[in-house]
Structure 1
Amino acid sequence: MVLGKWFVASAAVAMIATFSGCSKPGTPEAPSLATTGVTDAMINAGVGNEWLTYGGGYDEQRDSPLTQISDKNVAGLGLAWFADLDTARGQEATPLMHDGVLYVTSAWSKVFAYDAKTGALKWSYDPQVPRETVVRACCDAVNRGVALYGDKVFIATLDGRLVALNQSDGKVVWSKLAVPDQESYTITGAPRVAKGLVLIGSGGAEYKARGSISAFDWMTGRKVWTFHTVPGNPADGFDQEGPNAKAMEDAAKTWGGDWWKLGGGGTVWDSITYDPQTNLVLFGTGNAEPWNPNAVDRGVGDALYTASVVAVDADTGTYRWHFQETPEDRWDFDSDAQIMLADLEIGGKKRHVALHAPKNGYFYVLDAKTGEFLNAKPFATQNWTTGIDPKTGKPTINPEARYEKTGKAFISLPGAMGAHTWQPMSMSDKTGLVYIPTNQVAQAYLAQSDWKPSAIGYQIGLDAGKTAIPADKAARAAARAMTTGALLAWDPVKQAKVWSVELKGPWNGGTLATAGNLVFQGNAASQFVAYSADKGAKLWSFPSQTGIVAAPMTYFIDGKQYVAVLAGWGGAYDLVAGAVVNKSGITRNISRLLVFKLGGTAKLPPIPPMAKQVLDPPPFVGTAEQVALGSDLYGRYCVVCHGDAAISGGLVPDLRHSGAIASADAIKAIVLGGALKHNGMVSFKDGLTPDDAEAIRQYLIKRANEDKALETTSMK
Structure 2
Amino acid sequence: MRGIGWAALALLALGGCSMGASEADGPTLATDGVTDAMLAAGNGDEWLTYGGDYDEQRFSPLKQISDANVGELGLAWSADLDTARGQEATPLMHDGVLYISTAWSMVKAYDARTGALKWAYDPEVPRSKLVEVCCDAVNRGVALYGDKLYVATLDGRLVALNQKTGKVVWDKLTIPEGSQMAITGAPRIVKGMVLIGSAGAEYFTRGYLAAFDAQSGKELWRFYTVPGDPSKGFENEAMEKAAKTWSGDWWKRGGGGTVWDSITYDAKTDLIYFGTANAEPWNPAHRNTDGAGDSLYTASIVAVKPATGEYVWHFQETPEDRWDFDSNQQITVTDLTIDGKQRRVVMHAPKNGFFYVLDAATGKFISGRPFVDGINWASGLDPVTGKPKVNPEAKYEVTGKPFVGVPGAVGAHSWSPMSYSPTTGLVYIPTNNTPQYYMGDPDWEPGTTGFQLGLDVSGGNFPADKATRAAIKAGLNGALVAFDPVAGKVKWKVPQTSPTNGGTLATAGNLVFQGTSTGQFKAYTADTGKELWSFATQTGVLAAPMTYAIDGEQYVAVLVGWGGVWDVSAGKLGGGITPNVSRLLVFKLGAKGSLPPLKPTPALVLDPPAPSGTPQQVALGEKLYSNSCSVCHGVSAVSGALNPDLRHSSTLGKKDLWQQVVHDGLLADNGMVAWKDQFSRDEIEAIRVYVLKRANEDKALEK
Residue 366 of structure 2, aligned match among 364, 369, 374: 374
Question: Over aligned residues, Cα RMSD in angstroms?
Answer: 1.2
Distance 1:637 1:118 in 2: 45
SS of corresponding position for 2:573:
coil
> Is 1:549 the equivalent of 2:545?
no
| Alpha-carbon shift at residue 27 of structure 1 (Å) | 5.9
Residue 392 of structure 2, aligned match among 387, 393, 399: 399
Residue equivalent to 1:262: 253
Indicate if the aligned counterparts of 2:21 and 2:308 stay in contact, CA closer than 8 A.
Answer: no
SS of corresponding position for 1:550:
coil
Residue equivalent to 2:272: 281
Distance 1:408 1:474 in 2: 26
Residue equivalent to 1:8: none
Letter of the 1:324 counterpart: Q
Residue equivalent to 2:357: 365
Residue 174 of structure 2, aligned match among 171, 178, 183: 178
CA pair 24-275 structure 1, distance change in 2 beyond 3 A: farther
Residue equivalent to 1:515: 508
Residue equivalent to 2:595: 604
Deviation digits for residues 595-617 of structure 1, max 9, x if unmatched? 00011122111001011011111
> Is 1:308 the equivalent of 2:304?
no
> Is 1:503 the equivalent of 2:499?
no
Distance 1:94 1:126 in 2: 18
Residue equivalent to 1:446: 439
Structure of higher RCO (CA pairs closer than 8 Å, 6+ residues apart):
2
SS of corresponding position for 1:250:
helix
TM-score, scaled relative to structure 1: 0.94
Residue 315 of structure 2, aligned match among 319, 323, 342: 323
Residue equivalent to 1:5: none
Residue 334 of structure 2, aligned match among 323, 326, 342: 342
> Is 1:409 the equivalent of 2:402?
yes
Distance 1:629 1:536 in 2: 49
Letter of the 1:616 counterpart: D
Deviation digits for residues 12-63 of structure 1, max 9, x if unmatched? xxxxxxxxxxx99966731010111101111111241000000000000000
Residue 619 of structure 1, aligned match among 596, 610, 615: 610
Distance 2:395 2:90 in 1: 37
> Is 1:71 the equivalent of 2:64?
no
CA pair 182-107 structure 1, distance change in 2 beyond 3 A: farther
SS of corresponding position for 1:181:
coil
Residue 572 of structure 2, aligned match among 574, 579, 603: 579
> Is 1:656 the equivalent of 2:647?
yes
Residue equivalent to 2:664: 673
Distance 2:537 2:662 in 1: 36
Letter of the 2:467 counterpart: A
Distance 2:267 2:249 in 1: 38
Matches of residues 59-98 of structure 1 in structure 2 within 5 Å? 59-98=55-94
SS of corresponding position for 2:302:
strand
SS of corresponding position for 2:138:
coil
Aligned-residue sequence identity (percent) comes to 63
| Alpha-carbon shift at residue 658 of structure 1 (Å) | 1.1
Indicate if the aligned counterparts of 1:46 and 1:59 stay in contact, CA closer than 8 A.
Answer: no
**5+ long unaligned stretches in structure 2:** 1-18
Indicate if the aligned counterparts of 1:569 and 1:590 stay in contact, CA closer than 8 A.
Answer: yes
Residue equivalent to 1:17: none
Distance 1:259 1:42 in 2: 43
CA pair 130-460 structure 1, distance change in 2 beyond 3 A: same
Indicate if the aligned counterparts of 1:28 and 1:316 stay in contact, CA closer than 8 A.
Answer: no
SS of corresponding position for 2:453:
coil
CA pair 387-72 structure 1, distance change in 2 beyond 3 A: same
| Alpha-carbon shift at residue 219 of structure 1 (Å) | 0.2
SS of corresponding position for 1:487:
strand
| Alpha-carbon shift at residue 182 of structure 1 (Å) | 3.6
**5+ long unaligned stretches in structure 1:** 1-22
Distance 1:368 1:47 in 2: 23
SS of corresponding position for 1:697:
helix
SS of corresponding position for 2:458:
coil
Deviation digits for residues 146-172 of structure 1, max 9, x if unmatched? 000000000000000000000010000
Deviation digits for residues 60-116 of structure 1, max 9, x if unmatched? 000001111111111010000000001101000000000000000000000000000
Residue equivalent to 1:202: 198
Distance 1:337 1:647 in 2: 28
Deviation digits for residues 505-542 of structure 1, max 9, x if unmatched? 11100000000110000001100000011110100000
Indicate if the aligned counterparts of 2:21 and 2:307 stay in contact, CA closer than 8 A.
Answer: no
| Alpha-carbon shift at residue 666 of structure 1 (Å) | 1.4
> Is 1:421 the equivalent of 2:414?
yes
Deviation digits for residues 574-605 of structure 1, max 9, x if unmatched? 111111121xx321100000000011122111
Distance 2:655 2:547 in 1: 53
Distance 1:337 1:496 in 2: 19
Distance 2:86 2:20 in 1: 44
Deviation digits for residues 465-514 of structure 1, max 9, x if unmatched? 23222222233223212211000011111111110100111110000000
Indicate if the aligned counterparts of 1:476 and 1:581 stay in contact, CA closer than 8 A.
Answer: no
Residue equivalent to 1:15: none
Distance 2:668 2:21 in 1: 50
Deviation digits for residues 687-711 of structure 1, max 9, x if unmatched? 1111111111100000011111122
Residue equivalent to 1:124: 120
Letter of the 1:378 counterpart: P
How many residues get paired? 683
Distance 1:484 1:398 in 2: 24
Residue equivalent to 2:456: 463
Indicate if the aligned counterparts of 1:670 and 1:683 stay in contact, CA closer than 8 A.
Answer: yes
SS of corresponding position for 2:437:
strand
TM-score, scaled relative to structure 2: 0.96
SS of corresponding position for 1:640:
helix
Residue equivalent to 1:390: 383
Indicate if the aligned counterparts of 2:35 and 2:146 stay in contact, CA closer than 8 A.
Answer: yes
Residue equivalent to 1:430: 423
| Alpha-carbon shift at residue 413 of structure 1 (Å) | 0.4
Residue 208 of structure 2, aligned match among 207, 212, 233: 212
Indicate if the aligned counterparts of 1:389 and 1:396 stay in contact, CA closer than 8 A.
Answer: yes
Distance 1:621 1:673 in 2: 23
